[in-house]
Structures are given as C-alpha cells and as structure tokens.
Amino acid sequence: MSTMTGSEVSLSHSNMSETAKPSHANPQVKGDKSHGGEFGYVGIDAILEQMRRKAMKQGFELNLMVVGQSGLGKSTLMNTLFKSKVSRKSVKPDPEERIPKTIDIKSISHDIEEKGVRMKLTVIDTPGFGDQINNENCWLPIMKFINDQYEAYLQEEINIDRKKRIPDSRVHCCIYFIPPTGHCLRPLDVEFMRRLSKVVNIVPVIAKADTLTLEERDFFKQTIREELRANGIDVYPQKEFDEDAEDRLINDKIREAIPFAVVGSDQEYQVNGKRILGRKTKWGTIEVENIAHCEFAYLRDLLIRTHMQNIKDITSNIHYETYRVRRLNESNGHFSIQPSDHAAVPPKADGQHEEQPAVLQANGVPPQLEVLSHEL
C-alpha cells in the first residue's frame, strides 16, 4: 500500500542509465527545465508533468463531514474554509419538532476552481448530533451513513461492467466539533470519536475558540490530547500510518497541535487596508486566518494544502479496505481459505476490533483479500 501522492513524489534526477541515448530524451514539457545536452538524461521526471496534467483534467474531489451540536459554528467554518457559501446556515428548529426522530444528514456539493484547478467539495452536514436529552447511540446514524457510502462504492467496484471512475461518495474526513467548555471531553465526544475513528479519519477541533483565553485554550487542548490517548482514540493523522521518518516528523508536529482551536466567519472586514475574514467585536476584530489569533489556518492547511491526498489515500487504503474485507468475508463465509501472510492493510496498532467479525479480530488484517478479490 502506498499513500504517496503525485505532488509528494520526488524523483531524483536520473543517473540510472549511463547507456541511455540522450539525444531524443528531452521532452519539451511546459514548465520543465531544459536538459538539452545533458548526458544520460532519460526524462523520468517528466512523469510529474504527465501526472499533473492528468490530475488537472480529472479534477479533485473531497468529501468532508462535519459533526457536532448545533450552534457550534459548523456551517460557518465550512464557509470560512472555502470562502464561499458551501454550507447552509443552521436553521432554528421549529419548536413543534425540536426532537427530530432521526438525524437528517445532508450533502451539499460545490465546484470550486482556483488557478485552473478544479475541485468538487462535498460537505456532509449532520445537524442535530448530540442535541437531544438522551444522546445514547446518536453516533449510529453517522456510522451507518459512512458505511452506506462504502457499500455503494463496493457495489460499483464488484460490478463486472464497472465504471472507469467509480463515483466516490465516501467520507474522506470527519471534522468533529468539541464545544469550548475548557473542562474535558464529554462522554458523548469520547464515544463518538472512539467508535468513528475506526471507520473514518477524524479531525477534532475546538469550536468557537474565541470564547477561551489563551491559557484556557492551551489547557483544554492538552487535556483533550491526554483524554484521546487514554481512551485509545486515534485521530488523523494516525501514527501507525506514517510511512517514513519524514512523515513522522511532520505528523508529530500536527499531533502535538491537535485539536485545532478554530474560529469561523464568513464576514469580510477591512483591516490595515487588507480584506480579511473575521469576527468584529467591541474590543477588536478576530482575524480567522491569522495564526496569532486562532488555528483555523492550520486546519485549512492540513485538509487542503498538505494532507488532502493522504486523507483520501487512508480512506481508500485503510478504512474502505477494512470495510470491504469484512463485507466480502461475510458474504463468502462458507469459503475456507487459509489466511495469507502478506496483508493488504496494516493491522490497527490498538488492536481494537471488537465490532469486527472474528476473522478480523485475530490479527486485525484482511487475510483473504487477495483470493477473494480474484474470486470476484
């Protein structure tokens, strides 16, 4: 399994083939340095340009889910994230129907374009999470929604006549909004993240962080990190999926900084001649993209600028794969195939697979994946 991405691939300049004929090996690629006359140049690095062009043509897709109590600023933050109205403002519930029977999960897609790069962003809003008096099992409809998307993908994938590009509605990342209480996580937060972190990438954030003082914020962040650790909750970026020392270095910094204390706003203001997104108060304007004010920029960079491909790769290679193997094992329960030694999915470090069927419990690994995928 590789989570290497096009943008992360770094090919050192080729000196592999001393005998390669250089004369015709200088593809005239836009933006490429001239290698004319350079002996031994094969042009392998031009693959990057090929990948770039292919990716540009296809565009990018990201499916983000936001979860948290109403009023925590989920819609506002999504609007902030993409500086456009990508998500609807929450609607005040009608007093007659204050307790909805089910959580109504809504997806809203937007096509965004920046510097010629197209991106389809889908925000999946889960209004009403944790709003009821009894919040037991309120994670269930969300878990079901996530699994339903995996199922839809699986059904497309196992079709004999499958589409070249399977429509991807899988949830790539779930942003979980923690209320800014300054105390500790609530049992509901722990329960949700403990269960959901096994099926989806979770990025916890402290909502409305402007309500906390700097000391309160640091203390709360530290408390949350300790509680996540104590409860064996592995949020994104998961340590076990770091691929090398460089990954580990970058991701350790992120792990030390989570949960990001964010402030959202879709209002623009003029500050020192610059237009900024902010929240104007009696005592000043909070600039949401200013890292001296809040950590929104860290969240945006993680989701879009530095880790988007990795978030999608982990969804596909780990979370979806785990689901796929479980489903295929279930429907092929009568097969008695010996577990193979080489796993397609690395085992979960915490070994917590209490809700998985026995075949996964043994080693947390899909033993029959290869054989079954051929059967299909």
Ligand X SMILES: Nc1nc2c(ncn2[C@@H]2O[C@H](COP(=O)(O)OP(=O)(O)O)[C@@H](O)[C@H]2O)c(=O)[nH]1
- Residue 120 Cβ vs ligand X, minimum distance, rounded to whole Å: 21
How many residues in the shown chain lie near ligand X by CB under 6 A? Answer: 14
Q: Per CB under 6 A, does 74 bind ligand X? A: yes
Of residues 52 and 110, the one with the C-beta less far from ligand X: 110
Q: Per CB under 6 A, does 126 bind ligand X? A: no
> In what helix (H) or strand (E) does residue 276 lie, and over which residues does it extend?
strand 274-281
Unique residue bearing structure tokens 């945006």: 300
Q: Per CB under 6 A, does 278 bind ligand X? A: no
Residue 363 CB contacts under 8 Å (≥ 6 apart), including other chains: 339, 343, 347
How many residues in the shown chain lie near Mg ion by CB under 5 A? Answer: 3
- Residue 363 Cβ vs ligand X, minimum distance, rounded to whole Å: 40
**By CB under 6 A, which span of 43-51, 74-82, 350-358, 361-369 interacts with ligand X?**
74-82
Q: Binders of ligand X among 206-235, rule CB under 6 A?
A: 208, 210-211
Q: Binders of Mg ion among 75-134, rule CB under 5 A?
A: 75, 90
Unique residue bearing structure tokens 């193979």: 340
Strand, coil or helix: 344 = coil
Alpha carbons within 13 angstroms on the beta-carbon side of residue 271 total: 15
Of residues 292 and 358, the one with the C-beta less far from ligand X: 292
Q: Binders of Mg ion among 24-83, rule CB under 5 A?
A: 74-75
Of residues 42 and 277, the one with the C-beta less far from ligand X: 277
Residue of 41, 61, 63, 75 that binds ligand X (CB under 6 A): 75
Answer with the entry of ligand X, Mg ion, none that 182 interacts with (C-beta below 5 to 8 A by kind).
none
Strand, coil or helix: 224 = helix
| C-beta of residue 242 within 8 angstroms of C-beta of residue 260 | no
Residue 3 CB contacts under 8 Å (≥ 6 apart), including other chains: 241, 243, 309, 310, 313, 314, 317
Tokens of 267: 């209002």
Residue of 71, 93, 182, 347 that binds ligand X (CB under 6 A): 71
Runs of H (alpha helix) within the chain: 46-58, 74-82, 140-157, 187-196, 214-230, 245-257, 296-300, 308-314, 321-331, 358-361, 369-375
- Residue 110 Cβ vs ligand X, minimum distance, rounded to whole Å: 16
| C-beta of residue 262 within 8 angstroms of C-beta of residue 180 | no
Bridge partner list, 190: none
Residue of 21, 85, 89, 144 that binds ligand X (CB under 6 A): 89
Answer with the entry of Mg ion, ligand X, none that 162 interacts with (C-beta below 5 to 8 A by kind).
none
What phi, psi does 252 have (nearest 5°)?
-60, -40
- Residue 224 Cβ vs Mg ion, minimum distance, rounded to whole Å: 22
Q: Binders of ligand X among 192-211, rule CB under 6 A?
A: 208, 210-211
Contact residues for Mg ion, defined by CB under 5 A: 74-75, 90
Question: Would you tell me which residues interact with ligand X (CB under 6 A)?
Answer: 70-76, 89-90, 208, 210-211, 263-264
